[in-house]
Structure 1
Amino acid sequence: MRFRNAILFVALAIAWGSAFTAIKAGLEYFPPILFAAFRYDLAGLLMLGYAVYATDQWVPKSRTDWIVVGIGGSLLIAAYHIFLFVGEQGTTSAAAAIVVSLSPILTTGFARAFLPDERLTTLGIVGLLVGFLGVGVLSNPDPGNLLNPRTVSLFLVFLAAASFALGSVLTRRFDDDLEIETMEAWSMLLGAVLMHGISFGVSESVADVQWTTEAVLALLYLVVVASALGFLIYFDLLERLGPIEINLVSYAAPVVAAATGLLFLSETPTVYTGVGFTCILVGFGLLKRDALRNEVARFSGTPNRGE
């Protein structure tokens, strides 16, 4: 099918962008960390079933395999979603999605620190700074009250993006042949266990859940559409497009989050939201300019001559 990749890319952006709206809607009925844990109880089981079907190794075997799963479960799943779900209580779906879109930029920064082969050029440093500027513009902090709920919430979402970026870099430090589907499945299950433990530790309770129709729909949407279906599309596109084009989903998702937040939750984006998003997008472009140029050349069929 001629436009298969484009259709799947749009589908993934819709699935992952609308997830921020589903999270925001579900937080009305669930304690935040318990909500995230429930999501990955179910999503982890679905992903494990897919790993059994699609791979030859659905159980990690080596010590390195389990280290990678440990990093994935603690940082990519548990830390990321704890900070995201708690943080999104005090901000909009679009704002949360935009801050999370900083992850590819932060990944480059962490790679420079932890991976010896990675180098950051002057323009790359400018890209990092522009991305951080975007978060600052988006949060629009009040100098007289830096601890107001919205600023604190956006900082927590920033920590979510940083956790995901750090986890992505640390997993790359290990020369590991574990199938990505297997790694994702066991990371989800481990992350769910960790989140249940932290949820219990901060005195969240199942008794606090309001099991309304809206609550169940929000949870099922996150499990089936954003997690199970979203990751299946992700694996398919990753194999055929590569990581650079997949990263661009991070910049399509906020548009979807803004649209679905406006449609379902009456969230109205501000000028600061738009300017912040633009800064982060420009920062990504500066950091990944060579890779993006190569992708454009490959797509257009013209040779890339480099710089």
Structure 2
Amino acid sequence: MTLRDRTLALTVVVLWGLNFIALRSGLDHFPPFFFAALRFAVIAVPVVLLVRPPKVPVRWLLGYGLGFGVGQFAFLFWAMDSGMPTGLASVVLQSSAPFTVVLGALLLREHLHPVQVAGLVVAVAGMTVIGWDRAQHAALIPVLLTLLAGLSWAFGNLSNRLAATDEPMRLMLWMCVVPPLPMFALSFAVEGPTAGWDALAESPGAWRALAGLAYTALLATIVGSGLWTALMSRYPASSVAPFSLLVPIVGIAASWLLLHETPSVWSLLGAAIVIAGATAATPRVRRDVTPAHLDLPAPAAAAMQVGDRVGTVPDSGRGNSH
């Protein structure tokens, strides 16, 4: 990956790591399935009215929305509402990275180089250290639910990849149209027909929940998922997915600072191992290879312009190692 695309991937890491704090604010006030439906509904309504659908097969759009949107957030919010600590959730959810790489190799025939495999193993080992340390204070069911969320995200990644669109931002936005109806139906069946709307009408604590909703809809979904969709459409899944292993580092640090979830020495050690492994698992390409155009939101477009200027600097002799 080029320097600019690595920078964009790290931007997604920060946005998604902080997103766990926003999710906790929302889940402290709203029922989990209703909050998941609301998260996507506030995006879906203007998208249907204002944005042209992407030219992709409907099956891949539905697969992306059902995997990334419905499956991931139904299981994740259910887990967090059932007692999954915020920092631990940010760790276990990154199981999507090895799930994506393995499924990409099995289903899409993507080739894995030995260095990628070794780096991925190291990163998963670091994630395991963090998970083992934190899981001592968590029940088993929330951990399993979060693993199912990671698996759902992986299937969404593959559908995104198979869509092979040159309009990744439109794909991401229309992906948000898929989850609201299934999630509202699930909320109606499990949480009751009025539980979510009653919480929406309650004023005590509502402002924090609504602030969390705004962050997760605008920054985490539109900007973060938009960048992620663009990168997944440009590179093999095995090149992009390992970056998500860095999200727990931001998630744990934010939970420590804002929610007073103090990380242990083992968690910090595991975080360092994750960073090393994810770096090794991400292949490099020559700077003189021009990436395909990425259809990005305004903040991402500005970042790309900066990356273009940085990309003119020689690469100190470091070529395409793969």
Q: Which residue of 1 aligns with 2:104?
A: 111
Instruction: Give per-residue Cα distances to partners, 1:151-199, cap 9 Å, x unaligned.
Output: 332332222122111221244345x546222222222111122211222
Partner of residue 262, structure 1: 256
For residue 167 of structure 1, the aligned residue among 156, 177, 180 is 156
Query: Residue in 2 aligned with 1:55?
Result: none
Q: Root-mean-square deviation (CA), in Å?
A: 3.9
Instruction: Go from structure 1 to structure 2 and tell me whether the alpha carbon gap of 1:243 and 1:265 turns closer, same or farther (over 3 Å shift).
Output: same
- Consecutive unaligned residues of structure 1, counting only runs of 5 or more, are 53-57
Instruction: State which of 174, 181, 194 in structure 2 corresponds to 1:186.
Output: 174
Task: Tell me the TM-score normalized by structure 2.
Answer: 0.72
Task: Count residues with an aligned counterpart.
Answer: 290
Confirm or deny that 1:97 pairs with 2:85: no
Paired position in structure 1 for 2:212 = 218
- Cα offset for 1:253? 3.4
**Following the alignment from structure 2 to structure 1, what is the Cα–Cα distance between the partners of residues 116 and 101?**
9
Which letter maps to 2:191? S
Most deviating of 133-142 and 101-110: 133-142
Partner SS, residue 101 of structure 1:
helix
Query: Per the alignment, in what secondary structure is the counterpart of residue 304 of structure 1?
Result: coil
Are 1:18 and 1:256, in contact at CA under 8 Å, matched by a contact in 2?
yes
Mapping for residues 271-282 of structure 1, pairs under 5 Å: 271-282=265-276
Q: Is the Cα–Cα contact under 8 Å of residues 30 and 208 in structure 1 kept in the other structure?
A: no
Mapped partners of 1:10, 1:73: distance in 2: 23
Distance 1:16 1:80 in 2: 14
| Distance verdict in 2 for CA 1:112–1:229, change over 3 Å | closer
Greater Cα offset, 209-218 or 245-254: 245-254
Kept after mapping to 2: 8 A contact 1:94/1:261: yes
Residue 108 (structure 1) shift = 1.1
Asked if 1 retains the 8 angstrom alpha-carbon contact of 2:98 and 2:124, the reply is: no
1:79 to 1:155, Cα distance in 2 relative to 1, 3 A: same
CA contact 1:46–1:228 (8 Å) conserved in 2: no
Matched, 1:206 2:196: yes
CA distance in 2, matches of 1:203, 1:131: 37
Within 1, Cα distance between the matches of 2:279 and 2:191? 43
| In 2, Cα distance between equivalents of 1:196 and 1:33 | 7
Amino acid in the other structure paired with 1:73: G
Partner of 2:307: none
Q: 1:109 to 1:203 in 2, by over 3 A?
A: same
Q: Which runs of 5+ in 2 are unaligned?
A: 290-310
TM-score, with structure 1 as normaliser: 0.75
